[in-house]
Amino acid sequence: MSSARLWTEEQFNCPVCLDLPTDPVTIPCGHSYCMDCIADHWDNEAQKSGTCSCPECRHTFDHRPQLCRNTMLAEAVEQLRNPAYWCTIRICSFC
């Protein structure tokens, strides 16, 4: 029996930098980013338009939301970064 992965690395990637998130945060619309990526996005956006919105769904926020670490996503990303996660043990399905 071969083992199947429930998740792929791409499912967890930050939509801004396209890499596994560093210090992942989730904003009020439910999308998750690296803390630095979303902070930089909002800084640039505030300079141009004075607003801040989600880079994915474009939901606009009245004021800049407080960013809090998403601990569950951080733990999942930590596991994905662990080389042991990608090693699979093949078990004979014949005997």
Domains of the chain, each with CATH number or no CATH:
9-86 (3.30.40.10)
Task: Kindly report the pTM of this predicted structure.
Answer: 0.74
pLDDT at 1 (0 to 100): 45
In the beta sheet, which residues pair with residue 53?
A: 60
Q: Scan for tokens 């800049």, then name that residue.
A: 64
Q: What is the distance between the alpha carbons of residues 13 and 61, in angstroms, rounded to a whole number?
A: 23
Position 89 pLDDT exceeds 70:
no
Q: What is the distance between the alpha carbons of residues 15 and 13, in angstroms, rounded to a whole number?
A: 6
Position 4 pLDDT exceeds 50:
yes
Q: What is the distance between the alpha carbons of residues 18 and 29, in angstroms, rounded to a whole number?
A: 19
Position 48 pLDDT exceeds 50:
yes
The span from the first CA to the last CA of the chain, in angstroms, equals 10
Mean pLDDT confidence for 31-52: 95
Q: Which residues, in sequence order, are CB contacts of 17 under 8 Å at separation 6+?
A: 34, 37
Mean pLDDT confidence for 8-22: 89
